A and B are shown apart, each in its own frame.
Chain A
Amino acid sequence: DVKVTQSSRYLVKRTGEKVFLECVQDMDHENMFWYRQDPGLGLRLIYFSYDVKMKEKGDIPEGYSVSREKKERFSLILESASTNQTSMYLCASIPTGSSYEQYFGPGTRLTVT
């Protein structure tokens, strides 16, 4: 089974802190994604990556950056956390050529106070 893991299930940070959310997949997938999920808004794509060191902005990249130094690891960085970034963050991966069967991690619920 494909496994996508995220570094934390719950995280509490203070406003202004730099926050790192890590995602690791064990199936050699080329493509990885970061979403945030908020009540009433569904899942929204923040960033995605086709390959190591490659990244593309999604629909809501403002306030976030990403890093993909190794194929299996995709990190989401909040440079200076703000309260409006309190959300559930979900990571996903998919092999190249697949028709959208993405595999999701369990999510990280981030609270910024």
Chain B
Amino acid sequence: LAKTTQPISMDSYEGQEVNITCSHNNIATNDYITWYQQFPSQGPRFIIQGYKTKVTNEVASLFIPADRKSSTLSLPRVSLSDTAVYYCLVGGTIYNQGGKLIFGQGTELSVKP
């Protein structure tokens, strides 16, 4: 499974757009890119997943360049409740990756008023 590298922490203010970039130089052809969010004292929660180009849902957007060696999670107009740890993971389906996910240390996002 490809290893990911992301900033340990980021600060932002309410109403700003936040972009968190993840590096995954060894991503394999079958790998998807998945982002999770974790609040204190809770389990991680799935945010978004993509394979290439751009994916958007009601929570975030995910930008993946053509070489797929990095990806950027974009959170539009953050609020205080977006303060959390954000994890970037790469991997394939449950069939060909043994079900193993590698969670890195994540990015601790702090949103200030």
Q: Min CB distance, A22 to chain B, in Å?
A: 15
A40 to B108 Cα, complex, angstroms:
11
B101→A107 contact, CB < 8 A: no
How many chain B residues have a CB neighbour from A under 8 Å?
Answer: 24
Take A42-B103, A42-B106, A45-B101 as given contacts and tell me if A100 and B41 are in contact as well, using a CB distance cutoff of 8 Å: no
B93→A33 contact, CB < 8 A: no
Name, among B32, B87, B94, B100, the residue most crowded by chain A CB atoms within 10 Å (CB to CB).
B94
A-side contacts of B41, CB under 8 Å: 106-107, 109
A40→B101 contact, CB < 8 A: no
Take A42-B103, A107-B41 as given contacts and tell me if A101 and B34 are in contact as well, using a CB distance cutoff of 8 Å: yes
Take A43-B103, A101-B34 as given contacts and tell me if A96 and B43 are in contact as well, using a CB distance cutoff of 8 Å: no
Chain B contact residues, majority secondary structure: loop
B-side contacts of A91, CB under 8 Å: 43
B-side contacts of A43, CB under 8 Å: 44, 87, 101, 103
A58 within 8 A of B: yes
B100→A45 contact, CB < 8 A: yes
B43→A90 contact, CB < 8 A: yes
B19 within 8 A of A: no
B-side contacts of A101, CB under 8 Å: 34, 46, 49
B105 within 8 A of A: yes
In the complex, which of the residues A48, A90, A103, A109 contacts B99, with contact meaning CB atoms closer than 8 Å? A48
B27 within 8 A of A: no
Q: List residues of B (81-95) whose CB comes within 8 Å of A's CBs.
A: 87, 89, 91-95
B-side contacts of A103, CB under 8 Å: 46
A21 within 8 A of B: no
Q: List 19 A-B contacts (CB under 8 A).
A: A4-B43, A41-B105, A42-B87, A42-B104, A43-B101, A45-B101, A48-B99, A50-B99, A94-B94, A96-B95, A99-B91, A100-B34, A100-B91, A100-B93, A100-B101, A101-B34, A102-B44, A102-B46, A103-B46
